[in-house]
């Protein structure tokens, strides 16, 4: 008896791949889950980058080898004191430093510049000047300094940080960079030599950790020793 050829048409193929076997049902559930995960990740990424667009744009446009030149302009002759400010030429930072903010005022005062942490030293003292600033913030937040420290992680050992305070300017040289948890308050502690410590949230767009830049005094007159102790809150506050 001759064998009859077996043929499959389109309907036969659909029946095979759309069967109700346990394996087919499981595959359909897995596929739905994968599709959902892909869409969720895509939507999350769009929202995350949209909320932090200014900070990421600033980081993307930075070229490490071409430092931004910010001249240190002396005040006019009749003016005795400099405006309190921080200058980091390598990453194009020039911002007011607010020295009279309490711990509870930090977030609010960051709208107007960077903030000296309550109870830490002033420039010109042997001790630790701790300064905090935003690396990013929500687009609808007010203020001109929402991304002032977005490029802080570009600093390396040997880079310079300048603080203007009263009639003097102080030049500090970076000696250490590190990432710590928000609860590691020891970075606020007094130091046996003139030091500035910069703190900001890290990675950019999150509050997971804190980026800490430590620099030692290279130029400037020392007039006193820090006698105050830093306010130890629950965690290191640096905005976002």
The pLDDT tens digits for 63-122 are 554 556 666 666 555 556 899 999 999 999 999 999 999 999 999 999 999 999 999 999
As a whole number, the mean pLDDT across the chain is 85
Would you state the pLDDT for residue 31? 76
Mean pLDDT along residues 121-129 = 96
Q: Which of 19-28, 114-123, 172-181, 201-210 has the lowest mean pLDDT?
A: 19-28
Please name the residue that has the structure tokens 């921080």.
86
Would you state the pLDDT for residue 42? 79
Binned at pLDDT 50, 70 and 90, residue 29 comes out as confident
- Do residues 179 and 202 touch, judged by C-beta distance below 8 A? yes
Binned at pLDDT 50, 70 and 90, residue 32 comes out as confident
Would you state the pLDDT for residue 48? 76
CA distance 238 to 240: 6
pLDDT in tens, 182-233: 999 999 999 999 999 999 999 999 999 999 999 999 999 998 999 999 988 7
pLDDT over 90, % of the chain:
58
The predicted model scores a pTM of 0.74
Q: Compute CA distances 79 → 46, 87, 99, whole Å.
A: 49, 19, 20
Delimit the domains of the chain by residue range: 10-51, 64-73+82-225
Would you state the pLDDT for residue 69? 62
Please name the residue that has the structure tokens 């300017």.
169
CATH topology of domain 64-73+82-225: Sortase; Chain: A; (2.40.260)
* Long-range contact pairs involving 138-143 (C-beta distance under 8 Å, separation at least 24): 138/51, 138/240, 139/50, 139/51, 139/53, 139/54, 141/111, 142/111, 143/110, 143/111, 143/112
Peptide linkage before 203 cis (omega within 30 of 0): yes
């Amino acid at each position: 008896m001759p064998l009859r050829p077996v043929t499959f048409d389109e309907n036969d193929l659909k029946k095979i791949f759309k069967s109700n076997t346990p394996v087919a049902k499981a595959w359909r559930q897995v596929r739905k889950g994968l599709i959902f995960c892909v869409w969720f990740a895509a939507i999350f990424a769009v929202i995350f980058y949209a909320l932090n667009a200014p900070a990421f744009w600033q980081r993307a446009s930075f070229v490490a080898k071409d430092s931004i030149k910010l001249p240190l302009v002396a005040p006019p002759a009749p003016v005795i004191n400099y405006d309190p400010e921080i200058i980091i030429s390598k990453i194009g930072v020039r911002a007011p430093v607010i020295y009279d903010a309490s711990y509870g005022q930090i977030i609010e005062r960051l709208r107007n510049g960077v903030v000296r942490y309550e109870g830490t030293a002033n420039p010109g003292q042997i001790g630790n000047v701790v300064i905090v600033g935003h690396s990013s913030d929500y687009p609808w937040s007010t203020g001109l300094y929402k991304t002032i420290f977005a490029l802080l992680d570009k600093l390396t050992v040997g880079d310079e940080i300048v603080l203007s305070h009263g009639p003097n300017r102080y030049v500090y040289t970076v000696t250490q960079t590190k990432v710590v948890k928000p609860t590691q308050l020891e970075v606020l502690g007094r130091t046996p030599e003139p030091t500035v410590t910069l703190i900001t949230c890290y990675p950019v767009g999150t509050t997971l950790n804190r980026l800490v830049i430590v620099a030692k005094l290279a130029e400037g007159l020392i007039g006193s020793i820090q006698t105050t102790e830093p306010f130890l809150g629950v965690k290191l506050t640096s905005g976002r």
